[in-house]
Amino acid sequence: MARNERTAEPRGDRTTAREQERAVLRLFGTFRLEGANGDVAVPASAQRLLAYLGLHRGAPRSVVAGTLWPDVTEEHAHGSLRTVLWRLRRMRQPAVRTDGDSLCLADGVRVDVDDFTRAALGLTGSAPAPGDTPSPLVLLDSGELLPGWDEEWIHPERERLRQLRLHALESLSVRLTVRGCYALALEAALRCVAIEPLRESAHCAVVAVHLAENNIVEAIRHYEAFRRLLGEELGLEPSPRLAGMFPHRVRERYPETGLIRR
């Protein structure tokens, strides 16, 4: 069987190489592997392996087996991994490459998480922005990492990407406000608020956009809504930093908002 499969591979490999140049593994939202000719059907048992390699780039077989099958014996875990790899090799677009004892995604398979990370780090100033950095709009369009998946190894990655998105959206809002792109700046700030309603820095971004447009009433309305929410949920007041964003004349005129601290 193995010999017959190897002799049948050359023509398929040439096609696969062209397809893999445009293959995209999507981990935000519903799991998808997109090939040159549309979505590639991936067995449910193999989706976890591709997702793990997409998030970790590569790992030894023993680590992959122990992580994906933590509740079985080592022998059983390695057997399950071999079965999944066999199924993946039979796909019209193989997506996993073996490098000695390590596994990684095949060359040419792009991961949407990597696109997002480059865009986010470029905005926060944490990394230089390469020439092929995706549009910052990817920060607004991408959803949660593999919603509904409850594997233990996903939780830290999900939280890491959530925090990165929050910081990047705030940075994006600031940059767009400076450029005068107020509608998109407000969209970025409000998206951040929707993800984490009690995050004060996100509310600061919203207020900053309103003040830049000289929409004082909108800024006060948002401040008061956040003040009520913070009081109801945590029994706290907004920090002096947020109140201090308002011009002195506004704080003097609207003392009932709590913009002036006694």
DSSP 3-state assignment of 240? helix
Which contiguous run of DSSP H or E holds residue 188?
helix 182-195
- Edge-first strand listing for the sheet containing 96-99: 58-60, 102-105, 96-99
**pLDDT given for residue 91 in this prediction:** 81
**Phi, psi at 61, each rounded to 5°:** -55, -40
**pLDDT given for residue 252 in this prediction:** 65
Structure tokens at 22: 């445009």
**pLDDT given for residue 16 in this prediction:** 46
What angle is formed at CA 61 by the lines to CA 55 and CA 66, rounded to 5 degrees? 80
Quick: pLDDT tens for 31-82.
999 988 889 999 988 999 999 999 998 899 999 999 999 999 999 999 999 9
Crossing angle of helices 200-212 and 182-195, rounded to 10°: 160
CA distance 161 to 150: 16
**pLDDT given for residue 262 in this prediction:** 39
Mean pLDDT in order along the chain per 10 residues (262 residues): 36 44 88 90 93 94 96 96 92 84 93 92 71 63 90 95 95 94 95 96 98 94 95 95 85 60 44
Contacts 24+ apart (CB under 8 A), 82-89: 83/45, 84/43, 84/45, 84/46, 84/49, 85/49, 87/43, 87/45, 87/46, 88/42, 88/46, 88/49, 88/50, 89/5
**pLDDT given for residue 140 in this prediction:** 75
Structure tokens at 246: 């308002």
